[in-house]
Structure 1
Amino acid sequence: MRKYRLMDWPTFLVSLLILISVVVPLIAFPEASRDTILQLNAWVTTGLGAVYLSIALAVFCFVLYIAFGKYGQVTLGAESDDPEFGTFSWAAMLFCAGIGSSILYWGVIEWVYYYQAPPFHLEPGSEEAINYASTYGIFHWGPIAWAIYVLPALPIAYALYVKKTPILKISLACEPLLGRQTKRWPGKLIDILFIFGLLGGAGTTLGLATPMIAAGIEVLFGIDDGGTMLRVGILISATAIFAFSAYSGLKRGIKVLSDINLWLTFLLLGFVFIVGPTVFIMETTVSSVGLMLKDFFRMATWLEPFGGYRDVPETSFPQDWTVFYWAWWLVYAPFVGLFIARISKGRRLKEVVLGTLLYGTLGCVLFFGILGNYGLWLEISGTFSVTEVINNESGEAAIMAIIGQLPFGKITTALFVVTALIYLATTFDSGSYILAGTTQSEVEGEPYRWNRLFWAFALSVLPFSLMLISGEDSLSLLQTASIVAGAPLIVIFAMLMISFVKTLGEDRIKLEERRRKHKEKERRTLSITHAKRDRWWE
């Protein structure tokens, strides 16, 4: 019975029941489920858009305050502790866990949607629309996204390595506000909402990646239309890979797979950069980063409030994109944050914050700058019409068509597909690892293997269900899975920020009090020594 001793059964069972209660209606009543999901999407994005944008900007400012404020030099562990992982492996694991194969989907074609339906009521296809088309993807996957990711990492890592609490739960970070309720139902509810959010985010990621990988296999093997069976086969294969990785553990599975994935990424991006329009890619990427920095706060707060009034057209651009992305990062953030916390022993808070923001943003800039701008160049140079493929076929077909324009098309497509598959695995092996930790009351070394394996397969159930009901509205359905699941996490994130500042403040007061007592003790000891010496001389 030892392998069940540390299980948090209430959290485990309730999370499982919620998953079943969501999946069964999706399969049993697909039409009604589709209509309900789309209605929820409209309600959440319209009613909570301002809240999503506000919490994201608040988190960004908060983590910068932690990094550059009086707590930035706090070490996660003893002062003498060296980082558990080298910088390369640390950066690789946090990037691969936080991004996954979705960046290979959006990094290649996201610019198309902005090019055809640009923000700020710009003329589609105009020069300004082209500028923002290559910029908005970098913004959505940039500093704010990684700030949302790193926030939960800070209090969890602090609890793990400073307070020596062997628990991988997001509720633990709220203990300064919840007190004893952390181990009762209020705390369990927070963990359950986190699990629910991650399952929704997984539905979006797997739902986007599986058709893309299927399209690549169709191109490689000359299959006209593999249909649902091919996608189900890919989903099962990907699940088997990340289940094995999660079962192998952090150092033998997840770390090795992340390192391999980063080298494949360098190979893919380097090849496209060299054989593609190199000067165009460099100039467009630099210009895009500059435009993002110039309009950063405008893009972070724009919600199109005047759309539909008088002569102002209504496009719902921020609701469809910025709100969706912030919700997507929110549902993944507790999991990515817990994972970053687990691999950050021995690092300072400032190092964790700035490293996550820098490495994460830089990696995404490379993807959007190289892959995205290569596709943009094909379009505006007249070499190949990407927009025509997207409008007449699908996003995944456009991705494979773009990759197919490169030299050695079959080899490049194979490299792209393998990279996407491993990115998918590195995200979900980390996810199953953290879900297993969340459903245990304590973690002795690593979560139980059977528990890690169970959640690896559970993560694929919701995207499988969404795949069965998706049709013309598939993208909206997948986006809604993240947006709706992320809504409860807005409150949790506000609690995280308040709780962490309270914890740091209280611990700093205790530390200063210990230092004061230590100095007072040293002073008294020194006074006694001097008094004894004086009496001896007398």
Structure 2
Amino acid sequence: MKAKLIDWPTFIGALLLILLVSIPLVLFPEEGGKVVNAANEFMTGNFGILYLLVGLAAFAFLIFVAFSKNGHVKLGSEEAKKEFGTFSWAAMLFAAGIGSSILYWGMIEWAYYYQGPPFGITPGSKDAIEWASSYGMFHWGPIAWAIYTLPALPIAYFYYVRKKPVLKISESVRPVLGRYVDGPLGVVIDVLFMFGLMGGAGTTLALGAPMIAEGVHDLTGVPITMGLKAAIIFLCTIIFAISAYSGLNRGIKVLSDVNLWLAIFILVFIFLFGPTLFISETTFTSIGMIVDNFFHMATWLEPFGNLAGFTETGFPESWTIFYWAWWVVYAPFVGLFVARISRGRTIREMVLGTMIYGTLGCILFFGIMGNLGLYLQLTGNFDVIGFMNEYGAPAAIIQILHQLPMPNIIVALFTILAIIFLATTFDSSSYILAAVVQKEVQSEPLRWNRLFWAFTLCLLPLVLMLVGGLKTLQTASIVAGFPVIFIMFLLAWSFMKASNSDIQESRDYEEPTIHINRREILERIRKRNKKRSALEALQDKNLDKE
């Protein structure tokens, strides 16, 4: 009976696509890598403007929706209470949307901008330093969270307002594509989303596992080998498999809460025992730079290249366009998850809450962790860039933490946080993958289904990491995610079409009802007054007789 709930074409299609891409990469890693990288360069080099347009359009669209009549719509009945408190809700959406990548890039991304700044600025200069502390916050800021939030609109609307127990991207574009989503086109949409999610999750794993391995090596002295990385992945798999199996309330919520409290403790510790004044002033200044240059940063594409004395840096393609492509690949997953946990909130609360809490969280990570490393570099207390270029970014991250008081404790907590962050991303991912391959989800996806995708998420990146093809899978997922740009447009269109139609129908229904009720009330008043007049006239007549 339960097997009938599975959408087998989507289930099998996603597995086949992953195998069709992965097996050639395992057998022919060099040739496959070259093909995928060439496709990625073609996409980002020729369609970069499209990615940047998607980012700006998503940001503007969501601001409009939040403050429009559509923003007042409640996800659920009028009596529905919020399924999760604000703290747990913010913790889950942040953990799902960011993962351990925020620990990696939040700590070290500035170093790349310091050496290769935007706008043709001289590396290591005063301007390069200012942009180094700002650009990471921009890349992980409002536009990133707007891209994440857009798919949540139609998904949450259909699930909670129209009461359709289906958590699928294809179902959310039904108002535009109609019955075509019931055929091969719907399967293709869902399969592409699942492939992109697996590749994106693989990227998170590729960044998280070496960083965790460095932490374990620093604490225990165990050499960093493929066996250690495999053991770390296995441990994370056990954690997120248990969490996903336990469900939203008993698993994912609890793990996300622990994750957020531990992150807050580490950030507060660094802020208080690190260069507090430098962190405060630099973060505040960076926010001002982003606000002042927001649209310049969001639209810069280096169009002049090497013409007319300009120097082409490749910065937009390597960073902004790459990040926007990465967010687009992840967006349907985060949107599905945010939609699922937002029952009882209005559209406005969901949109503004996701964008504000997500952005603030990223600002804190980049502002506190990133500026700690920048301070060490500028004061000469520790040559972060020199160490990173020689030993790699994961080793540099651990050495930055060693410049704080009680370094062993902080490194241990940081490593635990990275493991939990990795687990929270993957348990959310497996939960959503399981939901997408079911025909309907009344409360939660089937447990065996959640476990299956939990282990699939782990085993595939592990195999590719063993053959050195994980980065290629991530690049392949971004290439495959290119059609998601157009799906994002369909999602926005579907939401506006469905919500505007329902609002208009509601008004058409309510106005005649109000008019009829008012007319009935007036008629009753008129009849009552007529009876009263007749009664008074009869009383007067009796008095006359007396």
Normalized against structure 2, the TM-score is what?
A: 0.95
Does the Cα contact within 8 Å between 2:157 and 2:495 map onto a contact in 1? no
1:484 match? 479
User: Larger Cα Rg: Structure 1 or Structure 2?
Assistant: 2
Instruction: Spell out, residue by residue over 1:217-244, the C-alpha distance to the aligned partner (whole angstroms, 9 max, x if none).
Output: 1111113x42211111111211121111
- The equivalences for 1:465-484 within 5 A come to 465-470=463-468, 477=472, 480-484=475-479
Decide which of 510, 514, 519 is 2:509's aligned counterpart.
514
Equivalent in 506, 524, 536 of residue 531 of structure 2: 536
303-312 or 288-297: bigger deviation: 303-312
1:532: how far off?
A: 3.9
Match of 1:284 among 267, 275, 282: 282
| 2:521 match | 526
Identify the residue that residue 364 of structure 1 maps to in structure 2: 362
Following TM superposition, by how much is the alpha carbon of 1:523 offset from its aligned partner in structure 2, in angstroms?
Answer: 2.7
Mapped partners of 1:183, 1:93: distance in 2: 31
- 1:488 Cα deviation after fit: 1.3
| Contact kept? 2:376, 2:382, Cα under 8 Å | yes
Aligned residue runs from structure 1 range 264-279, under 5 A? 264-279=262-277
Equivalent-residue separation in structure 1 for 2:310 and 2:474 (angstroms):
26
Counterpart of 2:543 in structure 1 is: none
Query: Which residue of structure 2 lines up, in the alignment, with residue 427 of structure 1?
Result: 425
Q: CA deviation at 1:520?
A: 2.7
Secondary structure of 2:121's aligned partner: coil
| Pairing 1:374–2:372 present | yes
Match of 1:262 among 256, 260, 263: 260
2:337 alignment partner, SS class = helix
Q: Does 1:493 align with 2:492?
A: no
Give the distance between the partners of 2:524 and 2:9, measured in 1 at CA.
60
Does structure 2 retain, via aligned residues, the 8 Å contact 1:327–1:482?
no
Do 1:207 and 1:478's aligned partners in 2 also have CA atoms closer than 8 Å?
no
Alpha-carbon separation, structure 2, partners of 1:463 and 1:117: 30
Following superposition, the deviation at residue 531 of structure 1 comes to 4.9
Which residue matches 1:112?
111
Once the two structures are TM-superposed, the CA of residue 392 in structure 1 deviates from its matched residue by 1.2
TM-aligned CA deviation for residue 403 of structure 1: 1.3
Kindly report which structure 2 residues correspond to 1:177-192, keeping only aligned pairs within 5 A, or say none.
177-192=176-191
* Secondary structure of the corresponding residue to residue 108 of structure 2: helix
Work out the CA distance in 2 between the residues paired with 1:536 and 1:89.
Answer: 62
Amino acid across the alignment from 2:489: A
| Distance in structure 2 (CA, Å) of the matches to 1:117 and 1:443 | 47
- Deviation above 6 Å: which 4+ runs of structure 1? none
Q: How many residues align?
A: 533
Task: Quote the residue 1:10 is aligned against.
Answer: 9
Aligned to 2:353: 355
**1:248 aligned partner:** 246
Output one character per residue of 1:169-200: Cα deviation in whole Å (capped at 9) or x when no partner: 11121111011222222222211111111011
- Within a 5 Å distance, the mapping from 1:388-467 to structure 2 comes to 388-467=386-465
For the residues of structure 1 that align with 2:479 and 2:220, how far apart are their CA atoms? 38
Other structure's SS at 1:306 match: coil
Letter of the 1:100 counterpart = G
Using the TM superposition, give the Cα deviation of residue 482 of structure 1 relative to its aligned residue in structure 2, in angstroms.
4.5
Letter in 2 for 1:265: A
Instruction: Note closer, same or farther for the CA distance 1:339–1:265 as it changes in structure 2 (3 Å cut).
Output: same
Tell me by how many angstroms 1:463 deviates.
2.4
What is aligned with 1:313?
311
In structure 2, distance between residues paired with 1:54 and 1:167:
30
SS in 1 for 2:215: helix
In 2: Cα distance, 1:464 partner to 1:49 partner: 31
Structure 2 match to 1:57:
56
CA contact (8 A) 2:195 2:477 kept: no
CA offset digits 1:488-526 (Å, max 9, x no partner): 100100111111111111111101111112113313422
Per mean C-alpha deviation after superposition, the further-off stretch among 124-133 and 173-182 is 173-182
Could you tell which deviates more after superposition, 284-293 or 191-200?
191-200
Post-superposition offset of 1:337: 0.8
1:188 and 1:415 mapped to 2: Cα distance? 42
Letter in 2 for 1:7: I
C-alpha deviation, 1:104, in angstroms: 0.2
- Name stretches of at least 5 consecutive residues in structure 1 with no aligned partner: none
How many angstroms apart in 2 are the aligned matches of 1:274 and 1:534?
77
Structure 1 pair 271/286, CA: closer, same or farther in 2 (3 Å)? same
Aligned to 2:46: 47
Match of 1:83 in 2: 82
For residues 517 and 171 of structure 1, the distance between their equivalents in structure 2, rounded to whole angstroms, comes to: 36
Question: Match for 2:133: what amino acid?
Answer: S
Does the 8 Å CA contact 2:22/2:473 hold for their aligned counterparts? no
Q: Aligned-pair distance for 1:5? A: 2.2
Give the Å deviation of 1:258: 0.3
TM-superposed CA distance for 1:433, in Å, is 0.5
Aligned pair 1:337/2:332, yes or no?
no
Deviations 1:69-88 (A, max 9, x none): 22221111122222111111
More divergent stretch after superposition (234-243 vs 444-453): 234-243
Offset of residue 20 of structure 1:
1.1
Q: Which residue type is aligned with residue 125 of structure 1?
A: G
Q: What residue in structure 2 maps to residue 23 of structure 1?
A: 22
Looking at structure 1, the residues matched to 203 and 42 of structure 2 have their Cα atoms a distance apart, in angstroms, of 19
Give the Cα separation in 2 of the matches to 1:307 and 1:536: 89
Which amino acid letter does the alignment assign opposite residue 498 of structure 1?
Answer: W
* Counterpart contact for 2:142–2:355, Cα < 8 Å: yes
CA distance in 1, matches of 2:74, 2:131: 40
In structure 2, what is the Cα distance between the partners aligned to 1:357 and 1:188?
Answer: 30
SS in 1 for 2:309: coil
Gaps in structure 2 of 5+ consecutive residues: 535-546
Give me the whole-angstrom Cα distance separating, in 2, the residues matched to 1:462 and 1:42: 24
Q: Would the aligned equivalents of 1:34 and 1:469 in 2 still touch at CA under 8 Å?
A: no
Q: Is the 8 A contact 2:70 2:500 kept in 1?
A: no
